Structure formats: structure tokens, C-alpha cells
Amino acid sequence: MNSNFQFQYPWVLALLTLLPFYAFLHGRVGKLSALLFPSADIARSAGAAARAAAGRLLLFLRLLIVALCVIALAGPRFANDHTETQASGVDIMLVLDLSWSMMALDMSGPQERVSRFDSAAGVLEDFIDKRPSDRLGLIVFSAVPYLASPLTLNHDWLIENLHRLHVGLIRDLGTAIGDATAAGAKRLKDIKDSKSRIIIVLTDGDNNRGEIDPVPAAQLAAALGIKVYTIGIGIEQPCELPVFDPNTGKLELDQNGNVKPGMMLQPANYEVLGRMSALSHGKFYRATNRRELQRIYNEIDQLEKTQIKLRRFTTYRPLFQWPLLAALGLFALEMILANTRLRRVP
């Protein structure tokens, strides 16, 4: 909001230029006195010395009063410029795999120990930061889905909840992609005022648990007008799942500081993810490293743009009462002085 001082009728201020002429005409020599004295001594002895400045003071007050009235008539005011953002937002439910296989390190660099979950969480946080006008929610799942955050515009709170997550938080083992997608659709179905509703499912495994298969879940979302974007992550060859502590989600190291080896993971078959996206008019993606995953979320960000309209308007705070009150105060002062201390004989 920007504020600036202005006059509603600035042309009225031109009347101020007449005040010097009035003062000049008022000070001109008038007619000769009606009383003639043969000697100044008679007039001098008639009374006390007169106050020579009295008339000038009253004239100054009168001019100041008129000037303040002119300023009040010009309509002084503060103009406050406002800009309101009206966003036609997209409601987005993020669905994140939290199964134990998300601890695999196949998406990190040669000297890094960054799990699939860490890569996904970092990219998700960046995606959330880019959508300030959208309501976003978060569902995490393993063998069962859990709501980590309902749809909200409080993205700081959403990111705070994302930071609390770690692999092992859900002790039920497995991957219930269908149940998680259906849970996301259920959260979105009651939103009536949204421009668009989408679900973004990120997983590294095959659906092997749950009551609802992924394809019927995607059909349900499509029937509700919800698009489903699916992302399969992980390399397309067997990789090792390191040993970690499920209570903290931290890797366990041996005496030499190396990651303890665990079981071998087979690459997932992501054909079902492609069918889910095709049925719901979304899109399927594959990511084998963090750079590809970042590119995918950037593309989704561009596909699902939020329309933002700016409404600009101005409000005014009038100030005419202040010069008007000052003029009334000075007029009262003039009346008091003219009838008391500075009273003049006609």
C-alpha cells in the first residue's frame, strides 16, 4: 500500500493569490479624519499611547483564517493505493511413498548418502515454495495411507510437517498405491471452488498391499474431475537397501564409517502408474536421479499454472477538517482580541 498527499480540487488554491491584493488594498491611506485639531498636543494629551501593531495583528489573523478556509475547500486528503491479489488456485494433494525401500541410495551421487526419500522431500519442498496461491495437502503411505497435512495455504506448516517425516515412521510394510490415491481423491472431492484439482503420486515400488487397486483408484479420481500425475523413482536395475534405524530413519554405519549393506531391491514395474495417469488425463514420469525428479516437478508446475488477477483501487482519507478547525479557532481568537485587548474606538 502506497500513501500520498493530494488535493481533491487543487484549482481552488488559486484563490490564495488574491490575499496579497487584499492586504495591499487594506493598507492604503484612507480619507482624512473627520476631526481636525489645531495642534497635535491636544490629541496627544487626550489619552494613552495607542498600540500601533494592533491593526496589523488582526489583519494577519484575518488573512490566515481566509487562507485556511481556502485550503479546506481545496479538499486535502491522503490517497492510499491498494493492490489485491485474486488467485484462481489449483488444489494439489501430494502423495508420497514412505515404504522402507525409499531408503535406497541409488539416486544420490558417488560420494553422497542421500536416500530416495531425502531426494523426494527436497524436491517437494521446492515445489511447495513455488505454489504460494494454491492449497496443498500431503498423504504419506506404506501399507496404509496417512494424512500428514490437509489441504492448506499455510505452506510453512506443511513444510514443517514434511520435515517431521522419515522412513520407518509407518511400521506396516508394503506399498498401497491404490489406497493412497483413493485417499487423496476423497480429500479433494469436497472442494467446490477450485479451478483445478490434481494428485501427484510419487512411489518407488509396485502396489502389493491395500484394499483398492491403483487403476480403480485412478478411475475414481477421473470421475471426480481430478487429474493424477504419477512419478516412479529409482534406477531400473537391482540395488541395495542399506540398514537403517526405523525409529529415526538414519543409516547405520559400521566401525569404518561405511553404510551397512542390507537386502537387494528389484526394480519396480511402473506400467500401472502409466495406466493411472492415462485414465485420469494426467501424465506419467520416470526419475532415476534428483535432477530428473526436479525437472519433472518443474514441468508439472508449468502444466498446472495458477491464474492470478491483480485488482488495484484507491481509498481516500479526508483532511479538510483540520484546516477548517484551525480557521475556526483563529476566528474565535480574533473575535476575543478585537473585543478586549485590541478593541478599537470607531
At residue 190, the pLDDT reads 77
Q: Are residues 296 and 267 in the same domain?
A: yes
At residue 219, the pLDDT reads 96
Count: domains in the chain: 2
| Among 87, 26, 37, 96, residue whose Cα is nearest residue 60 | 26
Q: Are residues 154 and 273 in the same domain?
A: yes
Q: What is the pLDDT of residues 245-257, one digit of tens each?
A: 999 999 998 888 8
Residue 295 lies in a domain: yes
Q: Are residues 319 and 258 in the same domain?
A: no
Q: What is the pLDDT of residues 162-188, one digit of tens each?
A: 999 999 999 899 999 999 999 999 999
Q: At what angle do helices 214-223 and 177-189 cross, to 10 degrees?
A: 10
Q: Are residues 57 and 192 in the same domain?
A: no
Q: Are residues 146 and 16 in the same domain?
A: no
Q: What cell numbers appear for 208 in the block?
A: 502389493
Q: What is the pLDDT of residues 69-115, one digit of tens each?
A: 989 898 899 888 766 655 557 899 999 999 999 999 998 877 788 99
Q: What is the pLDDT of residues 41-71, one digit of tens each?
A: 555 555 544 444 556 777 888 888 888 898 9
Q: Are residues 96 and 226 in the same domain?
A: yes
Lowest pLDDT segment from 34-43, 293-302, 319-328: 34-43
Q: Are residues 106 and 126 in the same domain?
A: yes
At residue 88, the pLDDT reads 55
Residue 35 lies in a domain: no
Residue 10 lies in a domain: yes
Residue 44 lies in a domain: no
Q: Are residues 77 and 224 in the same domain?
A: no
Q: Are residues 319 and 299 in the same domain?
A: no
Residue 43 lies in a domain: no
Sign, CA dihedral 64-68-71-77, equals: positive
Which pTM does this prediction carry? 0.66
Residue 41 lies in a domain: no
Residue 346 lies in a domain: no
Q: Are residues 77 and 94 in the same domain?
A: no
Residues of the domain holding 274: 90-305
Q: Evaluate if residue 210 carries a pLDDT over 70.
A: yes
Q: Kindly report the CATH number assigned to the domain that includes residue 128.
A: 3.40.50.410
Q: Are residues 323 and 177 in the same domain?
A: no
Cβ–Cβ < 8 Å for 241, 264: yes
Q: What is the pLDDT of residues 10-22, one digit of tens each?
A: 998 888 888 888 7
Q: Are residues 117 and 58 in the same domain?
A: no
3-state SS, one letter per residue, for 60-129: HHHHHHHHHHHHHHCCEEEEEEEEEEEEECEEEEEEEECCHHHHCCCCCCCCCCCCHHHHHHHHHHHHHH
Residue 258 lies in a domain: yes
